[in-house]
Amino acid sequence: MSRWVKRGRRCRRTPAPGISSRRRRAYGYKAPSRLRPRSARAPSRHRRQHLIDEAARRGCYKLLGKPSGHGDGKPQPRSLGSLDQLFGVLPWSWHDGRPSSLADESTKWSLRQSRSGSDPSFVDAEGFRVYDASFSPLPFNPLTPAIDRRQDLINPSHHIHEVSDIIKRIYKLGDQQAFRLREAIKRAYESAGISLRPAPLDPGKPFPSFEVVQQELIDDKANEPLLGRLSPIFDLGLFATDAGQANFEEFLQSSAVIRLGQLPSDEVKNSVAEFFLMALYNYLIRQTQTHTLGRLLVLDEAWRVVGSPFLSPLMREGRAFGLGVIIASQFPRDLPEAVRGSTATRLFFSQGQVEQIREIQRTIVGKTSGPEADHVASVVRGLTPLSCVLHSTQYTPFARVTLSPYFERRTATEQDAS
């Protein structure tokens, strides 16, 4: 006869023959805590904090990550200088004990406030230029094909299929509608005197804009349903229409923020974001491989573009061309495996949803049950604002990190300078 506990009340039950302990637990029964082995009990919150403080005092973070002590028994600072990547290839440099380059929740908050016009200090201090697609056209034309620097050729036909595939996937067009769109873009190229075959770039022939494609569709009344679906792209004036405005290379040389929050629908926002990723990828892969970080791409609310066929190649191949990538999303499950697998360092902030916590457990310890997984779940649930869990090859299974807000670091820098 065995003793079991159900819903906090002790009762005596005789288990039926042939029923295993796993099935008993599945039906709501579990052994009392005093009968469970000590290894199966998760440490209490006070006990965990005591172990963390003791590890910090000894200078050895075996609970949080790799040891940082030097064997002399003195506590050492938790330097993150060994990190060479943060969601891509972001080097982490330090100045006077503070990180000089750090994308955290407070920085994102400051950026959002500055973009809304209520706090321009962040943008002004960092020298960012804000492009608001709802008020002015973005400085690139999605219908401009990439130039192959090795052969100095362009391939308009290949580029037309890329653009039409993006629009078809985002707006859920049918095959016939996608065909009509491609034919209209082809006629727009031919009207501009540009051959659809690979040919050298002629600077004297500007590429057509979406307004020209709209005129090509208007000429046929059978295209009215397609015009209705794509009217935001045609009517809002989202992209540059002349060669003087569409200078993507000059745009990449500056520090800029593209604001999409005030665009009317998710389809418009997603299409603009994917057109930008397409232009960036086509530009980078035709440059010389530098293997030195020269650009940093930050994607907030990255769930909008995780389905883009250009995001994963950018994260995999971008480091060879000097591109670092930081992606941020509200929930870990928003990012597919192909995107998560391309990240070298992951920062997890507080989560309360069970499915999201399980995803963090699988990422850090590879399982969702057991003492280690339970410990990860308790830590993630108890994280305070501006504190997070850092997981990388240098810190296994994880390290608890407290981030310094941007305004505090800037204030400290100004005080030191004065």
User: For 200-222, what is the mean pLDDT?
Assistant: 91
User: Of 313, 333, 373, 394, whose CA–CA distance to 86 is shortest?
Assistant: 394
Supply the mean pLDDT for the chain.
Answer: 75
356 vs 77, which has greater pLDDT?
A: 356
Name the residue with tokens 């020269």: 294
CATH architecture of 141-244: Orthogonal Bundle (1.10)
**Residue 355 CB neighbours (<10 A):** 10
* Residues 272-285 pLDDT 10s: 999 999 999 988 88
Measured in whole angstroms, the distance separating CA 366 from the mean position of its chain's CA atoms is 21
Going by pLDDT thresholds of 50, 70 and 90, the confidence category of residue 181 is very high
203 vs 18, which has greater pLDDT?
A: 203
* DSSP strand pairing (147-148 vs 153-154): antiparallel
User: Of 67, 70, 65, 107, whose CA–CA distance to 90 is shortest?
Assistant: 107
| Domain range annotation of the chain | 2-33, 141-244
Residue 93: what pLDDT? 32
Residue 47: what pLDDT? 61
CA distance linking residue 259 with residue 117, whole number of Å: 12
Residue 393: what pLDDT? 86
CA distance linking residue 239 with residue 226, whole number of Å: 20
What is the torsion angle, in degrees rounded to the nearest 10, for the CA atoms of residue 45, residue 46, residue 52 and residue 54? -160
CA distance linking residue 350 with residue 360, whole number of Å: 11
User: For 157-183, what is the mean pLDDT?
Assistant: 95
* Residues 235-250 pLDDT 10s: 998 998 876 677 788 8
Residue 74 has pLDDT above 70, yes or no: no
* DSSP strand pairing (323-327 vs 295-299): parallel
Residue 49 has pLDDT above 80, yes or no: no
DSSP 364-413: HTS-SSSHHHHHHHHHHHTPPTTEEEEESSSSSS-EEEEPPPHHHHHHHH
Residue 306 has pLDDT above 60, yes or no: yes
* Residues 95-152 pLDDT 10s: 333 333 333 333 443 334 333 433 566 777 777 888 888 888 998 999 999 888 778 8
311 vs 148, which has greater pLDDT?
A: 311
Residue 322 has pLDDT above 70, yes or no: yes
CA-CA distances (angstroms) from residue 340 to 50, 150, 353, 373, 383?
33, 32, 19, 19, 22
DSSP 13-60: E-PPTT--HHHHHHTT-B--GGGS-GGGSPPPHHHHHHHHHHHHHHT-
239 DSSP assignment: B
User: For 21-35, what is the mean pLDDT?
Assistant: 51
327 bridge partner residues: 299
User: For 403-412, what is the mean pLDDT?
Assistant: 80
CA distance linking residue 161 with residue 282, whole number of Å: 14
131 bridge partner residues: 258
Q: Which residues have a Cβ under 8 Å from the Cβ of 408 and sit 6 or more positions away?
A: none
CA distance linking residue 50 with residue 57, whole number of Å: 10
